[in-house]
Structure 1
Amino acid sequence: MKKIYVLLVVFIIGWSCTKESTTEDHEQVKGNDSVKLTVSQKQATMTSGQSLENSMEWAAFLTAQAITTNQDAQEQFIEVLNASTGVGTLNSRITFEDLLGADISDTRFKEVFQERFEHYSSSLVCTPRPGGMGHPEPPIGDNSCTTPFCNYLRLLLDENCLEIIFPNGFESNDVQITNVASTAHPMTSDVFNDAYSHVTNSCITMRSRITGRNVGDYNNLILVRPYSSLIDNCDYESYSIDFTLFLQ
């Protein structure tokens, strides 16, 4: 009985020390996380692959919703794409800085993108959507942001370098884009991911599995992926993935 009592005391003391050490480590990590990074110190590699994939899926999804439900957003989107690499060009490219950056003068797309973000953040009416029945999940920001959308823009523009790729080019008529598909890089070596098909003036979508073999079946495909750039201080080396190979 005495031996059991001694062992119990030793166990309690050891458990207390471990808990205290864990608490100190947690507080230290929390303290480091509270240090505000400058824009030039993009913390792209600090975002987990799964979380980043979900954020990119939502970014592609909201972009598709903006341009299929609002004519003004569509017109500005086409103007930005034309000014970059051209509407019909295969693997044409624009960045979210081009569409949502602080310095843009034409905010038609940005305003509708925000409206779609706020709609899906508060409503479960429209499905399917990225994450099943989920919502766009902006990170917890600092005092410089007072709204969830501001934090979401920080995720897209400041904490990551994200681009929109159009593997099949992008085509629209003079009236309205009739169908768009959206997907994102899986942030793994997988050769497939979920894709969402969007139709004009509707929040109802169809979910399917997209791969390099059937990518040509998707009209106006919007693919969101990270890009590495020394100029923009974007470094995704920790993932050891060539993002350009997905859907090729």
Structure 2
Amino acid sequence: MRNTLKLIALVFILNFSSCSEDELIETNSETQSSIAKSTTLTEIEDIRLQNLMQWTGHLAGQVALNNNEGRAQFINAVNASNNGSVKLSDLIHYESDNQNRSYGNTDLSESFANALKDEFYKYVLISDFCSNPERTRDRPVPPELPGQPNFQHQSWIYNYPEPGDTEEEIYEERFQQYLGLILEDNCLEIYLPNGFNTPIRNIISSAHPLLDQNFNYEAYKHVAECNIDPINITSRTLGNIIIVRPYIGTGFPDTNCTYTQFDFDFTDFLD
């Protein structure tokens, strides 16, 4: 009888221990899963911002290399700032009422905006613009359009058009969506760490790495319209360099641009 009671007690202890371990494992798994999801979401947002800045720097590099009027407006705006940078909102006048978006103003030259649109269309409209059996053009990953009902982690430039839209309406809306990302949803500026020198042999485009470091392994060397090579950049890289970086908004219309997830000064990169 005594042995039987000991056996029952032992079985009870083992069962209790097993349940406690299972509950602990399950709790730990849920905690780790929650942490993983949180980290992943943050990383995804940072990647989207990095892609957006790289794409914008790439298009600006193409404008500076290939469009005289767009380059002139861009360089004049940078020189007027006296700090080697210019906000994109100072280059492109943009208005949005959540339904209709438009850019352009009679008081502001549209040369840069129109040139940016031309370069944008070359990548969105003309898939084989730089087709060559011996070479393919290098470029950053196109930005995504978050917050849309049918987003599904697909690059927005490949979304299907609305029924009845003309081709011109479709691609104008694509460009307006892109402007919304760089001018309305984010506060971005272009920085020229080495100034801008002529004659132009090539232009390097890149973006802030969103890390506290002074290099970026993703950059692009623009030699000609269809001659673009991936390179690395550091504080020792020479030449005409175009960097797109965020800036902290201090008042209307930039009040939402706090970027509190980053604990370093954006202006330190390649300074």
TM-score, structure 2 normalization: 0.62
Q: CA offsets per residue over residues 178-204 of structure 1, 9 Å max, x none? A: 3211110112334432111112x4222
Partner of 2:157: none
**Secondary structure of the equivalent of 1:59?**
helix
Report if aligned partners of 2:189, 2:244 keep a CA contact under 8 Å in 1. yes
Unaligned runs of 5+ in 2: 1-41, 95-104, 131-135, 150-169
1:1-248 → structure 2 map (5 Å cutoff): 48-85=45-82, 92-102=84-94, 103=105, 105-122=108-125, 123=127, 125=130, 127-131=137-141, 135-139=142-146, 147-173=173-199, 177-193=200-216, 194-199=218-223, 201-212=224-235, 214-215=236-237, 217=238, 219-231=239-251, 232-233=254-255, 234-248=257-271
Q: Which residue type is aligned with residue 263 of structure 2?
A: S
Q: CA offsets per residue over residues 213-236 of structure 1, 9 Å max, x none? A: x33x2x111111101132231201
Report if aligned partners of 2:93, 2:108 keep a CA contact under 8 Å in 1. no
Report if aligned partners of 1:121, 1:136 keep a CA contact under 8 Å in 2. no
**Secondary structure of the equivalent of 2:227?**
coil
Partner of 1:16: none
Report if aligned partners of 1:139, 1:151 keep a CA contact under 8 Å in 2. no
What's the offset of the Cα at 1:111? 0.6
Q: Which residue type is aligned with residue 130 of structure 1?
A: P
What's the offset of the Cα at 1:121? 2.1
- How far apart are the structure 1 equivalents of 2:137 and 2:45? 25
Q: Which residue type is aligned with residue 128 of structure 1?
A: D
- How far apart are the structure 1 equivalents of 2:74 and 2:267? 23
Which deviates the most, 234-243 or 162-171?
234-243
- Aligned-residue sequence identity (percent) comes to 37
Report if aligned partners of 2:48, 2:143 keep a CA contact under 8 Å in 1. no
Q: Which residue type is aligned with residue 70 of structure 2?
A: A
- How far apart are the structure 2 equivalents of 1:96 and 1:71? 18
**Secondary structure of the equivalent of 2:85?**
strand
Q: Which residue type is aligned with residue 62 of structure 2?
A: Q
Report if aligned partners of 1:162, 1:225 keep a CA contact under 8 Å in 2. yes
Q: CA offsets per residue over residues 14-62 of structure 1, 9 Å max, x none? A: xxxxxxxxxxxxxxxxxxxxxxxxxxxxxxx998111000000010110
- How far apart are the structure 1 equivalents of 2:222 and 2:146? 26
- How far apart are the structure 1 equivalents of 2:191 and 2:66? 20
Report if aligned partners of 2:209, 2:215 keep a CA contact under 8 Å in 1. yes
Unaligned runs of 5+ in 1: 1-44, 86-90
Greater relative contact order (Cα < 8 A, sep 6+): 1
How many pairs align? 187
Which runs of at least 4 in structure 1 moved beyond 3 Å after TM superposition?
A: 135-142
What's the offset of the Cα at 1:247? 2.6
What's the offset of the Cα at 1:208? 0.9
* Larger Rg over CA atoms: 2
- How far apart are the structure 1 equivalents of 2:108 and 2:140? 30
Q: Which residue type is aligned with residue 61 of structure 1?
A: H
**Secondary structure of the equivalent of 1:238?**
coil
- How far apart are the structure 2 equivalents of 1:46 and 1:148? 25
Partner of 1:33: none
TM-score, structure 1 normalization: 0.67
What's the offset of the Cα at 1:210? 1.2
